[in-house]
Amino acid sequence: MLKVEQLCTEYTDERGRVVKAAQDVSFDVPTGKFFTLLGPSGCGKTTTLRSIAGLERPTSGEITVDGALVYSSAGRVFVAPNKRKFGMVFQSYAIWPHMNVFQNAAFPLEVGHAQANRREIRDKVMRVLDTVGLAELADREATALSGGQQQRLALARALVMEPRLLLLDEPLSNLDAKLRERMRFELKRLQNELGITTIYVTHDQSEALALSHEIAVMGEGRIVQIGAPRDIYDRPCNKFVADFVGTTNFIEATVLARENGADEYRLQCAIGELVARSVRPLARGDSALLSIRPEDIELSAHKPHGANVCEGTVQAKVFLGEYLDFEVSVAERVLLARVHPSVDCAVGQRTFLQMRPEKCVAINQS
């Protein structure tokens, strides 16, 4: 459906320096899928989205929607943003303060080329306002809406013209935590129901993991890894992805040997010998970085059976309601373990740690 190929976008900042915001960005989004660009601020995700929208003019590359070019540097094609028929929700929502709710949502139908008559507009607008739950507020001043309502109105405005593509630029970042969680479900439900191809930009990894069919993690203008949420979380391809998506423990290690499993290796590290998986093949003697998620570390008072067991001392314990965080020191390393609150272990007590080999990820460093 959407095909982005080797997209590069640059701009000059106030001091006249050229900023390479997006470099060599390529990805494919099949029809009806929810695709997320995830990354820290300044990684080029918003620039990529704005290039797809046509609000930025890329320096090179190609963007195809439904087989039709909307941008191509080679073919000198640039379709103006108002001709692309994409719906977009901005981070600030960009609700026009001089119009009421209905007028805001009706605007795209009034200005487009295929202009509908009054009744059609009324029907379509009321239907979309109903979908987002704003039908009763149609006559209200747009400035009198709460943050969550503005966000829904922005979504209604983007959906009303039945766009080919829905572009969302951090639409949840201006909401408070509770509302954000609720809107996350709403968004997922709406996208499922309407089956609309959606490109989503966020710096919030839990949003990305919760919503997406596929995630592209970006850093410094480039795509670092593309994959399903589980792939990204369980099998990060490098330190940046492992660090950015979720919380993790990093341990430096050296490869000793290949284990019986196809992608399992035995490694030597500060806390002992461990067995871990690797996405890419490793050779003996390679230096690697182990990434172990805190929730994949199990604590027990008695020594358990199996591989990857070591012994440590509990240094600190934090109760967070849904889970307990332990800081455990093992051979002068401090590991973070996240366990069910029923686990009972006092500070200063000895404890055994076990990490299942398929949950330990070795990242090639050499």
Partner 1 sequence: MQRSIDLKWAAIALSVALIAYLALVPLGFLLWQSFFTPRSAAKAAELTLENYRIAYASAETARLFLNSLQYAAGSAAFAFTVGALLAWMNERTNTPFKTLFFALALIPLIVPGILFTVSWIFLASPKIGLINLALQWVFSTDQVFVNVYSIWGMIWVDGLHYSPMAFLLMTAAFRSMDPALEESALMSGASVLQTARRVTLKLALPAIVATLLILFVRALESFEVPALLGLPAGIHVFTSSIYQAIHQYPSQIGLACAYGVTLLIITTLGIYFQSRVTGRGSKYSTITGKGFRPRPIDLGKWRYFTAVLFIAYLLLIVVLPFLVLVWSSLQKFYTPPSPGALQNLTLDPYRFVFNHAPLGNSVWNTIVLATGSATVIMLVTSVISWITVKTRMPGRWLLDNLASVPLMFPGIVLGLAMLIFYLNVNIGVYGTLWILFIAYLTRFLPYGMRYNTTSMLQIHKELEESAQMSGASWGTTFRRILLPLLKPGLIAGWIYIVIVSTRELSTSILLYSPGTEVVAIVIWELWENGQYVELSALGVMLIVALFMLVVAAQLLGRRFGLKEA
Q: Is 78 a residue that touches partner 1 (CB under 8 A)?
A: no
Start-to-end C-alpha separation, the chain: 38
Pairing state between β 18-29 and 60-65: unpaired
Q: Is 179 a residue that touches partner 1 (CB under 8 A)?
A: no
What type of residue is 106? A
Q: How far is the CB of 56 from partner 1 (least distance, A)?
A: 7
Q: Is 366 a residue that touches partner 1 (CB under 8 A)?
A: no
From 103-111, 223-231, 253-261, 314-322, span contacting partner 1 (CB under 8 A): 103-111
Q: Is 281 a residue that touches partner 1 (CB under 8 A)?
A: no
From 52-60, 237-245, 273-281, 295-303, span contacting partner 1 (CB under 8 A): 52-60
Q: Is 128 a residue that touches partner 1 (CB under 8 A)?
A: no
Which residue pairs from 181-189 have beta carbons closer than 8 angstroms and sit at least 24 positions apart in sequence?
182/148, 183/148, 183/151, 183/152, 184/210, 184/211, 186/132, 186/152, 187/155, 187/211, 188/34
Q: Is 111 a residue that touches partner 1 (CB under 8 A)?
A: yes
- Per the CB < 8 A criterion, the answer to whether 152 and 182 are in contact is no
- What are the CA-CA distances from residue 249 to residues 172, 177, 253, 306 (Å)? 29, 26, 13, 21
Q: Is 11 a residue that touches partner 1 (CB under 8 A)?
A: yes
Which of 107, 250, 323, 352 lies at the binding interface for partner 1 (CB under 8 A)? 107
Hey, what are 35's tokens?
Answer: 């695709």
Which of 158, 183, 269, 276 lies at the binding interface for partner 1 (CB under 8 A)? 158
Which of 9, 46, 149, 291 lies at the binding interface for partner 1 (CB under 8 A)? 46
Q: Cα(23)–Cα(89) distance, rounded to whole angstroms?
A: 24
Which of 82, 192, 268, 366 lies at the binding interface for partner 1 (CB under 8 A)? 82
Q: Is 157 a residue that touches partner 1 (CB under 8 A)?
A: yes
Q: How far is the CB of 153 from partner 1 (least distance, A)?
A: 11
From 6-14, 275-283, 332-340, 352-360, span contacting partner 1 (CB under 8 A): 6-14
Q: Is 166 a residue that touches partner 1 (CB under 8 A)?
A: no
Q: How far is the CB of 17 from partner 1 (least distance, A)?
A: 13
For 129, phi then psi, to 5°, come to -65, -35
Q: Is 148 a residue that touches partner 1 (CB under 8 A)?
A: no
- Residue spans of alpha helices (H) in 160-304: 177-194, 205-211, 229-234, 239-244
Other Cβ atoms within 10 Å of 327 Cβ, number: 17
Q: How far is the CB of 12 from partner 1 (least distance, A)?
A: 10
- Per the CB < 8 A criterion, the answer to whether 292 and 249 are in contact is yes
Q: Is 356 helix (H, G, I), strand (E, B) or coil?
A: coil
Instruction: From 269, 222, 246, 294, select the one nearest 365 (Cα to Cα).
Output: 269
Q: Is 297 a residue that touches partner 1 (CB under 8 A)?
A: no
Interacting residue ranges for partner 1, rule: CB under 8 A: 11, 13-14, 46, 53, 55-56, 80-88, 90-98, 107-108, 111-113, 143, 150, 154, 157-158, 161, 167, 174
